[in-house]
Amino acid sequence: MPNASDAPLVGQEYEVEVGPVAHGGHCVARTDAGRVLFVRHALPGEKVVARITDGEEGSRYLRADAVRVLEASKDRVEAPCPYAGPGRCGGCDWQHAKPGAQRRLKGEVVAEQLKRLAGLTPEEAGWDGTVMPADGDKLPAGEVPAWRTRVQYAVDDQGRAGLRRHRSHEVEPVEHCMIAAPGVSELGVEKRNWKGMSAIEAIAATGSRDRQVVLTPRPGARLPIVELDRPVSVLRVHEGDGSVHRVHGRPFVRERADDRTYRVGTGGFWQVHPKAAQTLVEAVMQGLMPRRGETALDLYCGVGLFAGAIAQRVGEGGAVLGIESGKRAAEDARHNLQDLPRVRIEQGKVESVLPRTGITEADLVVLDPPRAGAGKSTVAHVSGLGARRIAYVACDPSALARDLGYFRENGYRVRTLRAFDLFPMTHHVECVAILEPAEKGR
């Protein structure tokens, strides 16, 4: 017989008072019986009808959507996007909140994660608690910035391009994604039928006029003839091993930041917001203040963005080592920085390559790890190098807070922290923390 604790609750509705925001694009609420709900499409202080979307009787918490708003927050607006809302596209978490409220909510999440996982108050982290918009992105309520220069479209069984619904493989077909950058929208991907494809990634470089689409065919499907509204390079994902092959055009796009051009091949990381790379380079350089002749490490270096910026500032007497796990990205980094002989790029996982280098000290370190963070052992190794300053770039507040806690255990304190709204309309936020030896801050 089925266990009563396994009885699904999906579809049940509860009238709840919405509590604080939580990491992940939702708010916390409780039913009259005390069950914890993670509610999307709600705002703190509202009274809503929440419909359960995931969970069962024995679940520690339940996921839900606010399907009716009984008492609205003053921060609520009508979602500008017709595809936003319960059960629809899962790409934007905060279409229903004013832009200023979105940034405030993100700041509350960062502060909560810092306190819970690192034991730090904003003051102790040298942070004023604000999340800064990218320059020019202070839009009035009801308007949406078109910022996303890389859009991963899914394709349904009928060949229609769309976006995934929240925590689902189901496709929400769209005629236009409002947060897609103009260079993506002008390709006209949504207007074309993609029968036989499972995904299309559209990329519009901001440092050049380069445009690219990467097609992932369904098993056994033939690649279509691609005719879009603008000149575009075409690549395909190989069915067997997931490798990417050029069909026609360049196998890379060209981006610019810090007065340098960077080649970014497929699979290579580049910030999605058009102003993000420059914003982050400036924040990292202002925090590190590189000096002539210094040595530096750029860990998880991607195509060499921070390594290039540091190398230009430490001069010919300095040295920079970049470590990147992606083979193609490491090749791009070597190409991008070939005019700077003081830079060396090693390919492999940071936790494996860094100990093998034999490096025992460095003046500066930059870490820009993937969403999961750097981890305890890498933080311990970096801390042992005695750097006068460390810059930690993070796209996930919880990973950031955990690693900052590890740094504190290893003798480093946070000197300053800055947060940037480089993913408007979503719950994501980018942070730059600058660390220094703890005894220096006493």
Domain ranges in the chain?
A: 1-73, 104-137+255-261+273-437, 150-204+211-249
pTM of the predicted protein model: 0.94
Tell me the average pLDDT of the chain. Answer: 95
Of 3, 7, 35, 37, the closest CA to residue 22 belongs to 37
Question: Could you write out the three-class secondary structure of 305-349?
Answer: HHHHHHHHHHCCCCEEEEEECCHHHHHHHHHHCCCCCCEEEEECC
Task: Show binding-site residues for S-adenosyl-L-methionine.
Answer: 271, 300, 324, 368
- For residue 62, what are the CA distances in angstroms to 23, 29, 264? 15, 10, 41
- For residue 437, what are the CA distances in angstroms to 56, 355, 397? 48, 21, 22
Q: Which of 89, 177, 395, 431 is catalytic?
A: 395
CATH of 104-137+255-261+273-437, one of 3.40.50.150, 2.40.110.10, 3.40.190.10, 3.90.1170.50: 3.40.50.150
Q: Which fold has domain 1-73?
A: OB fold (Dihydrolipoamide Acetyltransferase, E2P) (2.40.50)
The question of whether 395 is a catalytic residue gets the answer yes
Q: What angle do CA 410, 416, 422 make, to 5 degrees?
A: 115
Share of the chain above pLDDT 90, in %: 91
Q: What is the pLDDT of residue 267?
A: 73
Q: What is the pLDDT of residue 4?
A: 58
Q: Please list the rounded mean pLDDT of every run of 10 residues in the chain (442 residues).
A: 70 97 97 96 98 94 98 97 96 95 97 98 97 77 89 97 96 97 97 96 95 95 91 91 90 96 91 96 98 98 98 98 96 98 98 96 98 97 98 98 98 98 97 94 50
Task: Show binding-site residues.
Answer: 271, 300, 324, 368
Q: How far apart are CA 386 and CA 410, in angstroms?
A: 11
Q: What is the pLDDT of residue 442?
A: 46
| Contact (CB, 8 A) for 215 and 237 | yes
